[in-house]
Amino acid sequence: MSDLDADQALRAQWIVTIAEACRQLWGDAPEAGAVDQMKVVHRFVDEAIAGGRADGLACEAGCSWCCHQKVAVRPVEALTIARSLRARAESSSWVEALQRDRSLASMSPTCVFLGTRGRCRIYEVRPLSCRGLHAFDASECESAEAQDGQVSICAASDAIAQGADAALEIVSIEGGFDAELCELASAVLIALQPDAEQRWDDGEDIFDSSRLD
């Protein structure tokens, strides 16, 4: 089996694994809601990635070259991030920051959640697309950030995260929820609205303005 075939097989495996886990979780406790169960999805993914990480990865706390690009999220991920910010009593300050980020997005792709010393301020609830991005050479990441080049990443981590993302899309659609990919800052700004979670749970398409092209 080629490396490409192995990566595709791993991705397919995790689509099935996460989709079945979500169906069971959301079916056993429907009153809890999809957002409540995201911490379980994150744990599954993090444990799988930790078990499949290749040797020699360059990623470490404070390395943030990958945080200077547009980030895609599913609506349930944006709602999970918003809930975390509200729990920290930071929602009002983040509304202002996200509004500012949206107006500056065309000039700088730097993630609004990138904090001091290159650390992510939403690390515990970061999107799946961030969780699976692990590289082998920090200098290669730096060069790619400056020149829009390619980076050698850990294929296993990427396949697991992609599989989990596809599973979230499938199960969200099965549950009647909006699941289209959105831009991170715009989606979280919408998710911070007081009634956003309930409206999404009721099937309303509240993330339309944050859709990725």
Structurally, the chain folds into a number of domains equal to: 1
Q: Mean pLDDT over residues 72-86, rounded?
A: 93
Tell me which residue range forms the domain holding 114.
Answer: 3-210
Q: Dump strand ranges (E) for the chain.
A: 72-73, 182-183
Q: Is the pLDDT of residue 73 over 90?
A: yes
Cα dihedral 29→34→35→39 (10° resolution): 70
Report d(CA 56, CA 46) in Å as an integer. Answer: 18
Rg, Å, the chain Cα set: 17
pLDDT band at 196 (very low <50, low <70, confident <90, very high): very high
- What is each CA distance from 18 to 45, 115, 133, in whole angstroms? 8, 30, 18
Q: Mean pLDDT over residues 26-38, rounded?
A: 66
pTM: 0.84
pLDDT band at 168 (very low <50, low <70, confident <90, very high): confident
- Higher pLDDT: 71 or 93? It is 71
The answer to whether the beta carbons of residues 177 and 75 sit under 8 Å apart is yes
